[in-house]
Structure 1
Amino acid sequence: MNALDLHADPADIACALVDIPSVSGSEAAIADAVQDALSQQKHLEVVRNGDAVLARTNLGRPSRVILAGHLDTVPVNDNLPLRRDGDVLHGLGTVDMKGGDAVFLHLAATVTEPDYDLTFVFYDCEEVEAARNGLGRIERELPDWLRGDLAIVGEPSNAVIEAGCQGTMRIEVRCGGRRAHTARAWMGVNAIHALTEPLRRLAEYRAREVEIDGLTYREGLQAVRVAGGVAGNVVPDEAVLAINFRFAPDRTAEQAEEHLRQVFDGLDLSVVDCAAGALPGLSAPTAAALVEAAGGQAAAKLGWTDVARFAALGTPAVNFGPGDPTLAHTREEHVSSTEIRRVAQALRDFLGK
């Protein structure tokens, strides 16, 4: 494997990263390459934590900016090795998120006299269950490395600042009944039929649109799975409706749960999973300066990302990276080299030389 040249065109760095397979749980090779490349930069302190690599400046600046990107990808889907078609890079991870990683690595090597102290976090296992996410491990084992005045997560955002993120909650509504032979159905109680009531409430539900810091967040409440049934000739005695709630970041996780218990009052509801959202934090001076450097426009992040982890630590956080997020996790992932360079230049203008 060739060494990464962090002084090269960031689009070329992205190509090199894509051609190092790094499906979640198998990031050792790419972490080795990143560690080797960052260790060559004499102005950086570099540490390894599992298959995460962290680097930072210690210049005594009054503010610190964190730039964070995950190294892992979803499983390969006949989209490796990388294919370059003129300006466009095709392949697994070009969008999610080795294009963003390439930008951060290039800046780590070439921005040596920034206006802020900088911390770079390249971490593992973002694409799998939250318990394995490398940021969580870093928070437990190296918490000082995640302290800053602004965090920039390089998730694909079409090269537009996407601020904050929605919270997400998964619940189950469970309906009970009584089994009976379908030839004597009147002797039973059909649990699947009982789902009519929660489904009616979902159909009549009107989701909020919330404006925060000038950005509009749209909530959503959707049934995502129905489970039930015993056999083709048995009246079912249990049915479960799985529901996903995407909530605006002005609600806490506790408030989101309370809202759902009101919506489904009288029904058997249990929370399966929850991750709080993140307020945009664009009123923070450092965040406002970034928005200005990126063209003056920002959008609400409709989805959940690791910005929420930084927000929970009290650090304003935004998503800013090259690539169309709707292409993430698809076989057709591709990103423009021009967009990678544009994000790199915007961040260079913000960070200083």
Structure 2
Amino acid sequence: MTGDRLAARLLEIVDIASESRDEAALAAHVLEQLPDARDAGDTCVLAGVTERRERPLVLFAGHLDTVPAQGNFPGRLEDGVVHGLGAADMKAGVAVMMELALAVGSLDASVDVGFVFFGREELPFGDSSLTPLLEREPGLRSADLAIVMEPTDNELHAGCVGNINATWTFRGVAGHSARPWLADNAIHRAGRGIAALAEVEVVDHVFAGLTFREVVSAVTVHGGVARNVVPDECVVEVNMRYAPGTSAADAEAKLHALCDPHGELVIDGNAPSGLVSTGPLVDRLVAAGDGLTLAPKQAWTPVAELTGAGVDAINFGPGRPLYAHRRDEQVEVEALVKSYNTLERFLCA
């Protein structure tokens, strides 16, 4: 596969706006471009073989949506690099998927191959269109392996960490800033709680031979009324990432134990971790690459949705995690070619 073709395909889909909840135009484009594609509803498109037959079934999965634009739309090709919204996360992977879908009929593949395009991945876990799709299309759950084309810089990332978002509210008593001893400053209470949270050490967890890191962070702070008012409320948003092997309930309990002594914690969302998948097809993918090894995925990805539905899944894609969600989002054309060639060798092994 030529770099020019892959670059043109990527630039073509970068220039179709598809921010979360606005993926319909890109879904329609994918449907139009792939001869055997079908509309699976809810901005989801399926192509190729989508249920287990006599041979192993491998699915390629990729989300169509992007985060909001940051002055990086439309895209451009410059010096062997495609720039633009979603270039790395994860339209690079979608472009490779589309070209594989067009070529698979002429390849001497030794497995059946299907393609799953879906929306709303960049929104909270409960909004994703993939989990409902897996319920509507039971054949997908019979797959032997799903390759999620998330940005990994052409490395093989196994599993994924769980992701909790929570709201931490600190309450006090309002008063005049000239007489703060008559009030109870909620921002000061929040400061003490945040300082305690900052002292929590990173915890390494080994799961299936890979080391994942459990971390917790305060990510936003909202508080204050005016410069002469001691505030009676301060709200902090907290994010926690937890390793495979830790249940969603246990992770929430740990976060409550850290935060409850200082303020009121409410869990807003909890995306469970994804299991580490191994086996002959993963070994075959490792062998198809150039020095590929398994590494832990220190982020949340749809691998969690797939392994939760009983499908072995792995992360592999051409985008660089470094550029995901950035104003200068980009991917090298060379990375697209490397990804495509690795996956073609994998299919034809």
Q: Compute the TM-score of the two structures, normalised by the length of structure 1.
A: 0.87
Structure-2 residue corresponding to 1:30: 26
Q: CA deviation at 1:237?
A: 2.3
Given that 1:47 and 1:55 are in contact with CA atoms closer than 8 Å, whether structure 2 keeps it comes out as no
Structure-2 residue corresponding to 1:90: 83
Q: CA deviation at 1:340?
A: 0.8
CA pair 266-132 structure 1, distance change in 2 beyond 3 A: closer
CA deviation string 1:281-326 (max 9, x = no partner): 23x3322222222233122111111111111112222211112122
| SS of residue in 2 equivalent to 1:195 | helix
Kindly indicate whether residue 44 of structure 2 is the aligned counterpart of residue 52 of structure 1: yes
Given that 2:14 and 2:74 are in contact with CA atoms closer than 8 Å, whether structure 1 keeps it comes out as yes
Distance 1:194 1:78 in 2: 38
Structure-2 residue corresponding to 1:14: 10
User: 1:150 aligned to 112, 131, 145, which one?
Assistant: 145
User: 2:177 aligned to 179, 182, 203, which one?
Assistant: 182
CA pair 56-229 structure 1, distance change in 2 beyond 3 A: same
CA pair 124-203 structure 1, distance change in 2 beyond 3 A: closer
Distance 1:114 1:61 in 2: 14
Aligned pair count? Answer: 343
Specify the code of the residue in structure 2 equivalent to 1:55.
A
Deviates more, 1:341-350 or 1:177-186: 177-186
| SS of residue in 2 equivalent to 1:304 | coil
Distance 1:199 1:15 in 2: 43
User: 1:219 aligned to 198, 203, 214, which one?
Assistant: 214
Q: CA deviation at 1:146?
A: 4.2
Map 1:184-223; keep pairs closer than 5 Å. 184-223=179-218
Q: CA deviation at 1:260?
A: 1.6
Q: CA deviation at 1:338?
A: 1.7
Q: CA deviation at 1:182?
A: 3.3
Distance 2:72 2:347 in 1: 34
CA pair 196-163 structure 1, distance change in 2 beyond 3 A: same
User: 2:258 aligned to 256, 259, 263, which one?
Assistant: 263
| SS of residue in 2 equivalent to 1:111 | helix
Identity of aligned residues (%): 38
CA deviation string 1:246-278 (max 9, x = no partner): 111221111111112222353432212211111
Structure-1 residue corresponding to 2:270: 274
CA pair 186-122 structure 1, distance change in 2 beyond 3 A: same
Specify the code of the residue in structure 2 equivalent to 1:49.
G
Q: CA deviation at 1:189?
A: 2.3
Deviates more, 1:148-157 or 1:295-304: 295-304
Given that 1:166 and 1:276 are in contact with CA atoms closer than 8 Å, whether structure 2 keeps it comes out as yes
Distance 1:173 1:199 in 2: 10
CA deviation string 1:77-126 (max 9, x = no partner): 44344322242222222212222112111222222352222221111222
Given that 2:125 and 2:271 are in contact with CA atoms closer than 8 Å, whether structure 1 keeps it comes out as no
Given that 1:35 and 1:48 are in contact with CA atoms closer than 8 Å, whether structure 2 keeps it comes out as no
Map 1:196-345; keep pairs closer than 5 Å. 196-267=191-262, 268-282=264-278, 284-294=279-289, 295-345=291-341
| SS of residue in 2 equivalent to 1:84 | strand
CA deviation string 1:153-200 (max 9, x = no partner): 111110111111111112233332223333443333222222344224
Distance 1:197 1:226 in 2: 13
| SS of residue in 2 equivalent to 1:230 | coil
Supply the RMSD in Å over aligned alpha carbons: 2.5
Specify the code of the residue in structure 2 equivalent to 1:33.
H
Given that 2:52 and 2:139 are in contact with CA atoms closer than 8 Å, whether structure 1 keeps it comes out as no
Kindly indicate whether residue 67 of structure 2 is the aligned counterpart of residue 74 of structure 1: yes
Given that 2:151 and 2:317 are in contact with CA atoms closer than 8 Å, whether structure 1 keeps it comes out as yes
Distance 1:182 1:102 in 2: 58
Specify the code of the residue in structure 2 equivalent to 1:160.
E
Distance 2:335 2:222 in 1: 44
Specify the code of the residue in structure 2 equivalent to 1:245.
M
| SS of residue in 2 equivalent to 1:36 | helix
User: 1:105 aligned to 79, 93, 98, which one?
Assistant: 98
Given that 2:145 and 2:311 are in contact with CA atoms closer than 8 Å, whether structure 1 keeps it comes out as yes
In structure 1, stretches of 5+ residues that fail to align are none
CA pair 114-209 structure 1, distance change in 2 beyond 3 A: same
CA deviation string 1:207-235 (max 9, x = no partner): 11223333222222111122333333333
Q: Compute the TM-score of the two structures, normalised by the length of structure 2.
A: 0.88
